[in-house]
Structure 1
Amino acid sequence: MTKIEVNGAALAYDEAGSGSPVVLLHAGIADRRMWREQIDVLATRHRVIALDLRGYGESELPPTAFSHHDDVVGLLDGLGLARAALVGCSFGGAVALDTALAHPDRVSALALLGTAVSGHDWSDQTNDLWETLVGDVDPEDFVATAAGEVRFWVVGPERVPEQVDPELLAFATEMDERALAAELALSAVDVAELDPPAVGRLGELTMPVLVTAGALDVPDIRQLADHIAATAPQAHRLPDVPDAAHLLPLERPAPINSALLAFLP
C-alpha cells in the first residue's frame, strides 16, 4: 500500500505492473481490496492502480469540500500520468463516468461493471425489492445495515445466501461495514457532484466504453448497462455475466479478467 497527497488528502492505493495505466475504482460497499482477483492478471500488460476513494479503506477524509472525480484526476497528476483507462464497479463506475465527462482528455477508456450512474433515480421495482429482502434497518447499526446490503447486492434478489460462497459473503460483509463508516463520515463533508449529472450526458462520452452487469444483479443495474450501451457513441455491451450479482469482479473473476484484457488499450 502506498499513499499519495491528492487535493489535500492522503489517498491509499496499490500498484503493480507496467505498461498503459489502468485505475480500478471500487464499489460503494467495498474498498480497493475488491480488485484482488484483477490486479495481478492485469499487471501482466498494464500499470495497475487500485485506489481507495477518499474516506474509504485507508484513504483519509479531511473536512474540506472535494469531488471524487477531481480526486481521480489528482491521482493521475500526482503519478505523472497524462491519461488512464478507468475500470469501475457500482459507485466506482459512477465516479469513472463522472471523471470521463468532467475531464475527457484524461480518460483513454471506460470499463463499467454493474455500474451506477450519477443522477439516476432508483425505480419503484428496486425500492420494492429492498423492502421485501431487507426492510427497515437502523442506518447507524453498521452490522445490521451491512448484512442487509450484502443480502441485497451481493446475494441478489434471485438467490438465497446459501447459494453464495460463504467466504465471499464474509469478505463483502467486512468491507461493507467499513464502507458504511466511511459513508457516515462523508455525509458530514461537502462532496461536490457532477453538474449536470452523468445520466443525461452519456452521449458526450468520447472514449471506448465497455459495459456489463451480473445476470443476478438488481434490475436497475442491468437496465443502466443497456442504457449506457445504447447511448454512449463507442460503447460495447457484453452479455450479463452468469451466476454473478453486484460484485461480479470478485464473484466471477475469470470472465471479467478476460474481457478487461481484451478491451483495455
Structure 2
Amino acid sequence: MTTNTGPAAPPVTDVRIPVSGGGRLWAEHSGSGRPVVLLHGAGMDSRLWDDVAPELARHHQVFRFDARGLGCSTTPERPFSDIEDLRAVLDHFGLRRASLVGLSMGGETALDFALAYPDRVEALGLVGSSVGGHVWPEDPDSAAYDAARRERDAEELARLELSVWAPLGRTAPGGELIEEMVDDNSHRRIVSERYCTPSPHPDAEARLGDIAAPTLVVHGDHDHPEIGVIAKRLVAGIPGARGQVIPGTDHYLPLRAPERLTELLLAHLSE
C-alpha cells in the first residue's frame, strides 16, 4: 500500500454553495493539484468518502459535497437538478474542468454531466455506478424498495438500504458509519427524491459511446448482482474504459476497502 507516502494531508475548508431555488450545498475543499470531485449515492452523504478524500488530497485538489437535501445541504422546496447542482459546485470553485468520481447515483450523475458538459470532464471514476436508461430486472427486493419509496416509508427504506446494499453488515469495515448515514438521511432522502428532476439524458446507457473522458469502472464482488451487469456494460460501451472488481466489498465500497479504491483512483487519475 503506497497511498499514504505523499505529503501530509492538507487543511480542509468547508463552504455553503448557493444553488437554484434558494438552497445551499455543503461542500469541502482540500489539497492542491488537479481537481477531483467526489459524488456520493442516494440516501448517503459525503461521509462516504471519509477514508478516501484525505489520501486523494495528498496528490490532488479534492472536492466533495452533500447532494441536495442530504447530509448538511438544505432541504429542497422546489424542483432541482443534480446535474446543475454539480455544475454550480464546479463554477463556485472556478473549475473549468475536473475529474468526477461517483458512487451509485453519484456515478449516474457523473455520466449525465459528462454527456451534458463533455468539455468540463477530465476523467471519470465510476464506483458501483448506476446508469440512466438501464432496465432493472423485477425481483422482490426491487419491488419492496419501490413500494417503500411510493409510500414514503423512511424506516422500511432504511432497512432495505442496509439489507440490499450493505449486506456485509455492521461488523465489516465502515459498518457503523454506514448505518449512521442511512439513519440520518432516511427521512430526508424521501423529500429530496420527490423534488429531484429527471436527467436530460435518460438514455445514457445507449449513449456510452459518446463519453470521451478516460474512465475507470469499479465495483465490489458482494454488490447487488445488477451492479455487476451495469459495470460490464459501462466497460464495453465507453471507449477505452477499464474495469476492476474489488473482492470482499459491497455497494459501500469507499468505506469497505478505502485503501484499495484510493490506490486504483490515484493510478487512474495520474494517467
Match of 1:217 in 2: 223
Among candidates 110, 114, 131, match of residue 124 of structure 2: 110
Match of 2:37 in 1: 23
Matched, 1:175 2:200: no
CA-CA distance at 1:135 after TM superposition: 11
Matched, 1:148 2:141: no
Cα pair 1:98 1:197 within 8 Å, conserved? no
Cα pair 2:148 2:154 within 8 Å, conserved? no
Partner Cα separation in structure 1 for residue 123 and residue 196 of structure 2? 29
Matched, 1:39 2:44: no
Partner Cα separation in structure 2 for residue 168 and residue 148 of structure 1? 18
- Structure 1 residues 136 and 72: CA distance shift in structure 2, 3 A: closer
Matched, 1:257 2:262: yes
Among candidates 77, 83, 86, match of residue 69 of structure 1: 83
Matched, 1:208 2:205: no
CA-CA distance at 1:2 after TM superposition: 1.7
Q: Residue 165 of structure 2 aligns to which amino acid in structure 1?
A: W
Match of 2:10 in 1: none
Matched, 1:236 2:238: no
Q: Residue 148 of structure 1 aligns to which amino acid in structure 2?
A: L
Cα pair 1:147 1:173 within 8 Å, conserved? no
- Structure 1 residues 67 and 137: CA distance shift in structure 2, 3 A: closer
Deviations 1:152-176 (A, max 9, x none): 1011xxx6x4xx5267333212212
Matched, 1:88 2:102: yes
Cα pair 1:118 1:194 within 8 Å, conserved? no
Matches of residues 121-200 of structure 1 in structure 2 within 5 Å? Answer: 121-124=135-138, 127-130=139-142, 139-155=151-167, 161=169, 165=171, 168-189=174-195, 191-200=197-206
Aligned-residue RMSD, C-alpha: 2.2
- Structure 1 residues 234 and 167: CA distance shift in structure 2, 3 A: closer
- Structure 1 residues 186 and 136: CA distance shift in structure 2, 3 A: closer
Partner Cα separation in structure 2 for residue 221 and residue 149 of structure 1? 15
Cα pair 1:130 1:152 within 8 Å, conserved? no
Partner Cα separation in structure 1 for residue 255 and residue 196 of structure 2? 31
Partner Cα separation in structure 2 for residue 140 and residue 226 of structure 1? 32
CA-CA distance at 1:11 after TM superposition: 0.6
Cα pair 1:217 1:244 within 8 Å, conserved? yes
- Structure 1 residues 31 and 204: CA distance shift in structure 2, 3 A: same
Match of 2:9 in 1: none
TM-score (norm 1): 0.88
- Structure 1 residues 33 and 204: CA distance shift in structure 2, 3 A: same
- Structure 1 residues 140 and 167: CA distance shift in structure 2, 3 A: farther
- Structure 1 residues 54 and 136: CA distance shift in structure 2, 3 A: closer
Which has the larger displacement, 164-173 or 31-40? 164-173
Partner Cα separation in structure 1 for residue 179 and residue 159 of structure 2? 7
- Structure 1 residues 227 and 63: CA distance shift in structure 2, 3 A: same
Number of corresponding residues: 255
Point out where structure 2 has 5 or more consecutive residues left out of the alignment: 1-13
TM-score (norm 2): 0.87
CA-CA distance at 1:144 after TM superposition: 3.4
Point out where structure 1 has 5 or more consecutive residues left out of the alignment: none
Partner Cα separation in structure 2 for residue 187 and residue 250 of structure 1? 24
Match of 1:55 in 2: 69
